[in-house]
């Protein structure tokens, strides 16, 4: 194999091209010296011009072409061909033919060089952007790809691409995606777009995106031509960003725990006080001359109920404070909202805020991380309470309303505060933007990141002097049988 490559390299080298040009030039000299023919030298000159056009650069080619015309003219003058009218006519024909061929070859040479330059730019752009091209003829299952596609699949450049090679590099869990691509191609769909993973021999995983369109060739066959992009670096960056946001969200939750300390203490003390009261009542019912076991049993049930309530509050607080991986589960949207408000009851009471909860989505199920969604809701409630701190001429009303709109679970948190001016609204969700004197400016930014991670959206509307309404919407999900 190496001998064949060396021979190929030798035949395509500049030295061999110069030897071929010298050989043709020698043939021109011999033919012109020994044969009494006018056409033969011209044909050899034309051959030399074509060879130069395919081998040399444009300056060298023009030098060769002008030299051929010069040699032809000098030969005509030296041999005194101008004395014979027929020889003059033949010389003119040969000169016109050689000049015409030179101009056509120059035009072809420029077009060829331009094409090579564009091809070099194209290949360079593919390599820099990690984007290769790939082709598939459906009828014959013939596959073709560019050098960059071969690099993405990590195959040698001289390997002939096949469907089997593509399947061999596809991650086993994503094989159905690739098979679906072939099915769509067989159905002649106008646009195919997929993203899947590749599994390399050393265990590395790559993420690739492919989009393809069909082209009809002259033989009536359909060939799909597409772009294959290696997006592994982008996915790794997104994953790193997600982990950074998760850590930042955890820090924010821990910071919020300090602000909620009074509410937390109240939510724990309330069921504990009920446990003590019920325990004392149970003791009294038992110590009577005739113990009332039924009332004692009811007191014990209340003790168990309030103990469970205290345990639930502690579990919720621990979940908010711990740093763990995101756990997306199917949850009842209204339960998340009501539990979040329960944690904030003491805080709203301290701010003299009257909450009005209207749960209008009792059957709405969402798939998400309960702790993160509670973090968003608690943050919105804290902001609403703080926004009404300077309101003294009207009731401080907090309206929390859930609903289902267009296959989305929607939450509205509205306050009756002083409102937000129009020029500030556009910057509310920007990182480090805050209207509070001691604020970090990360609360609403993290809220937006969490909602967008859940495939939703968050927005705000406000009227100065009336109040502000925050909304967020996340997609509904269906309850699976195993859940």
Least confident of 369-373, 382-386, 454-458, 461-465: 369-373
pLDDT band at 382 (very low <50, low <70, confident <90, very high): confident
Sign of CA dihedral 272, 277, 281, 287: positive
Tell me the pLDDT tens digit for each residue of 38-68.
Answer: 445 666 677 777 777 767 777 877 787 787 7
Of the three residues 87, 110, 126, the one that is the final residue of a domain is 126
Is position 376 within any domain? yes
Is 80 contained in some domain?
yes
Assess whether 345 and 483 both reside in one domain: yes
**pLDDT band of 27, cuts 50, 70, 90:** low
Does position 430 have pLDDT exceeding 50, yes or no? yes
DSSP state of 288: S
Q: By the 8 A CB rule, do 331 and 368 touch?
A: yes
Mean pLDDT across the chain, nearest whole number? 76
Mean pLDDT of 392-398: 87
Please state, for a pLDDT cut of 70, what percent of the chain lies above it.
73
**Do 339 and 403 have their domain in common?**
yes
User: Are residue 287 and residue 310 in the same domain, yes or no?
Assistant: yes
Pairing of strands 457-463, 467-475: antiparallel
* pLDDT confidence bin for 1, thresholds 50/70/90: very low
465 conformational bin, left if phi > 0, alpha if psi -120 to 50, beta if neither: left
Q: What is the CATH classification number for the domain harbouring 417?
A: 3.30.565.10
115 and 164 inside one domain? no
pLDDT at 399: 93
Give residue 16's pLDDT.
56
**In this structure, are 379 and 437 located in the same domain?**
yes
Q: Is residue 173 part of a domain?
A: yes
Strands 222-230, 205-216: pairing is antiparallel
Handedness of CA 384, 388, 389, 390 (dihedral sign): positive
223 lies in the same domain as 297? no
Mean pLDDT of 279-290: 84
110 half-sphere exposure, CB direction, 13 A CA radius: 7
Distance of CA 9 to the CA centre of its chain: 42
Contact 467, 415 (CB under 8 A): yes
Average confidence (pLDDT) over 228-240: 81
Give the Cα separation of 432 and 391 in Å (integer). Answer: 26
3-state secondary structure at position 48: helix
**294, 325, 356 - which closes a domain:** 325
Q: Indicate left, alpha or beta for 412 from its phi (over 0: left) and psi (-120 to 50: alpha).
A: beta
Structurally, how many domains does the chain consist of?
4
Residue 83 belongs to some domain of the structure: yes
Query: Looking at residue 345, what is its pLDDT?
Result: 74
Q: Phi-psi bin for 294: left (phi > 0), alpha (psi -120 to 50), beta?
A: alpha
Phi then psi for 354, rounded to 5 degrees?
Answer: -100, 105
Indicate whether 19 belongs to any domain. Answer: yes
Q: Are 398 and 461 part of one and the same domain?
A: yes
Query: Same domain for 321 and 332?
Result: no
Q: Check pLDDT > 70 for residue 26.
A: no
Q: If we measure between CA atoms, which residue out of 220, 217, 176 comes closest to residue 196?
A: 176
State whether 39 and 178 are in the same domain: no
CATH number assigned to the domain comprising residue 150: 3.30.450.20
Q: Averaging pLDDT over each range in 47-51, 88-92, 244-248, 406-410, which range is the top one? A: 406-410
Q: Give the range of the structural domain holding residue 260, as residue numbers without chain letter.
A: 242-325
Asked whether residue 6 is domain-assigned, the answer is yes
Please check whether residues 345 and 459 belong to one and the same domain. yes
Indicate whether 266 and 380 sit together in one domain: no
């Amino acid at each position: 194999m190496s001998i064949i490559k060396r021979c190929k390299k030798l035949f395509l080298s500049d030295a061999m091209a110069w030897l071929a040009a010298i050989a043709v030039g020698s043939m021109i000299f011999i033919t012109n010296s020994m044969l009494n023919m006018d056409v033969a030298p011209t044909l050899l000159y034309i051959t030399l011009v074509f060879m130069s056009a395919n081998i040399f650069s444009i300056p060298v080619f023009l030098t060769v072409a002008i030299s051929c015309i010069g040699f032809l003219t000098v030969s005509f003058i030296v041999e005194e061909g101008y004395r014979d009218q027929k020889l003059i006519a033949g010389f003119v024909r040969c000169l016109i033919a050689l000049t015409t061929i030179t101009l056509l070859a120059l035009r072809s040479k420029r077009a060829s060089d331009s094409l090579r330059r564009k091809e070099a730019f194209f290949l360079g752009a593919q390599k820099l952007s990690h984007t290769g091209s790939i082709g598939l003829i459906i009828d014959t299952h013939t596959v073709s790809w560019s050098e960059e596609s071969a690099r993405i699949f990590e195959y040698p450049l001289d390997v002939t691409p096949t469907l089997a090679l593509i399947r061999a590099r596809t991650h086993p869990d994503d094989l159905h995606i690739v098979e679906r691509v072939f099915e769509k191609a067989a159905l002649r769909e106008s646009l195919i777009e997929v993203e899947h993973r590749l599994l390399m021999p050393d265990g590395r995983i790559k993420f690739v995106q492919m989009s393809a369109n069909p082209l009809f060739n002259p033989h009536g066959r359909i060939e799909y031509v597409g772009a294959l992009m290696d997006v592994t670096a982008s996915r790794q960056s997104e994953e790193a960003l997600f982990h950074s946001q998760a850590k930042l969200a955890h820090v924010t939750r821990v910071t919020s725990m300090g602000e909620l300390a009074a509410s937390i203490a109240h939510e724990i003390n309330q069921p504990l006080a009920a446990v003590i009261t019920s325990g004392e009542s149970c003791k009294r019912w038992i110590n009577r001359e005739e113990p009332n076991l039924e009332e004692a049993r009811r007191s014990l049930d209340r003790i168990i109920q309030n103990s469970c309530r205290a345990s639930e509050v502690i579990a919720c607080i621990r979940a908010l404070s711990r740093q763990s991986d995101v756990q997306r589960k199917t949850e009842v949207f209204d339960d998340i909202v009501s539990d979040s408000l329960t944690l904030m009851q003491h805080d709203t009471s301290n701010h003299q805020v009257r909450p009005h909860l209207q749960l209008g989505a009792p059957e709405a199920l969402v798939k998400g991380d309960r702790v993160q969604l509670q973090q968003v809701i608690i943050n919105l409630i804290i902001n609403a309470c703080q926004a009404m701190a300077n309101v003294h001429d009207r009731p401080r009303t907090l309206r929390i309303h859930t609903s289902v709109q267009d296959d989305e679970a929607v939450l509205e948190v509205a306050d009756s505060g002083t409102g937000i001016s129009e020029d500030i609204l556009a910057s509310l969700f920007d990182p480090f933007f805050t209207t509070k004197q001691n604020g970090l400016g990360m609360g609403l930014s993290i809220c937006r990141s969490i909602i967008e991670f859940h495939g939703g959206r968050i927005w705000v509307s406000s009227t100065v002097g009336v109040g502000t309404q925050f909304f967020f919407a996340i997609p509904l999900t269906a309850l699976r049988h195993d859940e």
